[in-house]
């Protein structure tokens, strides 16, 4: 069975049909996706800017990161769950969209960034650290995170067009 056939099968499931054809499910899921981006995307961004010493300069890096971590996870789950359901509603459209394919690759890179760079770079921060983070790895991870994140928004929005 090819992946396309699998996508076509998903569209025949009752959950997929319900989201696609119900008047409210799709807009509500889309709204949750947006709220997740708005409430928690800002924390990803400000966390990265703090590492670079650009935003929230007066708070120690370790404090900002540890305080945001829980909420970033909440946001991640909200965005992933709503996004997953939106995909479940229209997998064939997504399959054919170049923008969606790029988005999935970016999403994998976010995971790589989190596992490889961040874990190593952020773990070494001592408590009470002020100013920008000096570790090159951490700064690189922060830049990558911001770039990937903005690119995810662009490719996500692009699914409707390309």
Partner 1 sequence: MLLLHFFRWLGSTPVANAINDSEWLFPVIESIHITGLAVLIGTIAIVDFRLLGLALRNRPVSQIARDLRPWTRAGIGIMLTTGPLMLSAEPERGYGNPAFEFKMTCLLLALVTHFTIHRRVTASDHASGTTAGGRLAACLSLLLWTGVILGGRAIAFF
Chain contacts with partner 1 (rule: CB under 8 A): 26-27, 30-31, 34-35, 37-43, 45-46, 49, 55-59, 63-64, 67-68, 71, 150, 153-154, 156-158, 160-162
In the complex, the smallest distance separating the C-beta of residue 161 from partner 1, rounded to whole angstroms, is 5
In the complex, the smallest distance separating the C-beta of residue 67 from partner 1, rounded to whole angstroms, is 5
Judged by beta carbon, residue 7 or residue 83, the one nearer partner 1 is: 83
Judged by beta carbon, residue 19 or residue 64, the one nearer partner 1 is: 64
In the complex, the smallest distance separating the C-beta of residue 159 from partner 1, rounded to whole angstroms, is 10
Sign of CA dihedral 55, 57, 58, 62: positive
In the complex, the smallest distance separating the C-beta of residue 74 from partner 1, rounded to whole angstroms, is 10
Q: Are 75 and 41 in contact (CB under 8 A)?
A: yes
Question: For residues 107 and 109, what is the distance between their CA atoms, to the nearest angstrom?
Answer: 5
Judged by beta carbon, residue 11 or residue 63, the one nearer partner 1 is: 63
Judged by beta carbon, residue 91 or residue 156, the one nearer partner 1 is: 156
């Amino acid at each position: 069975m090819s992946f396309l056939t699998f996508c076509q099968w998903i569209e025949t499931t009752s959950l997929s049909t319900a989201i696609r054809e119900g008047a409210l499910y799709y807009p509500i899921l889309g709204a949750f996706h947006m709220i997740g981006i708005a409430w928690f995307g800002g924390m990803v961004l400000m966390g990265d800017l703090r590492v670079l010493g650009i935003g929230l300069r007066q708070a120690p890096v370790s404090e900002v990161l540890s305080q945001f971590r829980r909420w970033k996870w909440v946001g991640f789950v909200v965005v992933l769950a709503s996004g997953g359901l939106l995909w479940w509603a229209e997998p064939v459209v997504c399959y054919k969209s170049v923008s969606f394919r790029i988005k999935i690759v970016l999403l994998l890179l976010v995971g790589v960034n989190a596992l490889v760079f961040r874990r190593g770079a952020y773990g070494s921060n001592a408590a009470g650290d002020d100013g920008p983070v000096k570790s090159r790895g951490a700064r690189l991870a922060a830049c990558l995170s911001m770039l990937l994140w903005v690119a995810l928004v662009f490719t996500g929005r692009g699914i409707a067009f390309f």
